[in-house]
Amino acid sequence: MSNLGDIHAEVQAEWSKLRACWEATRQQWRDEVGDEFERRRWQEWEGRVPTYLSALKDLEDIAQRALRETD
């Protein structure tokens, strides 16, 4: 099940890049529209992506354990 591990690593890397880009953007984008975007969009992603990554890691662990138990 290394594919799940690869997916996890790729999503984690891309999420880290996106967060860095957002932080750089936010330094320049300081108005009501930026505040609204952060509140209505970005904060949702901040909650969902780490949850997704955690669930993906859990799934990888379960799949690896199942494979070991069936060998």
Q: How far apart, in whole angstroms, are the C-alpha atoms of residue 56 and residue 24?
A: 28
Tens of pLDDT, residues 13-41 = 999 999 999 999 999 999 999 999 999 99
Number of structural domains found in the chain: 1
Q: What is the DSSP letter of 38?
A: I
Domain range spanning residue 46?
2-70
The model's pTM: 0.83
pLDDT value at 1 more than 50: no
Q: How far apart, in whole angstroms, are the C-alpha atoms of residue 15 and residue 46?
A: 10
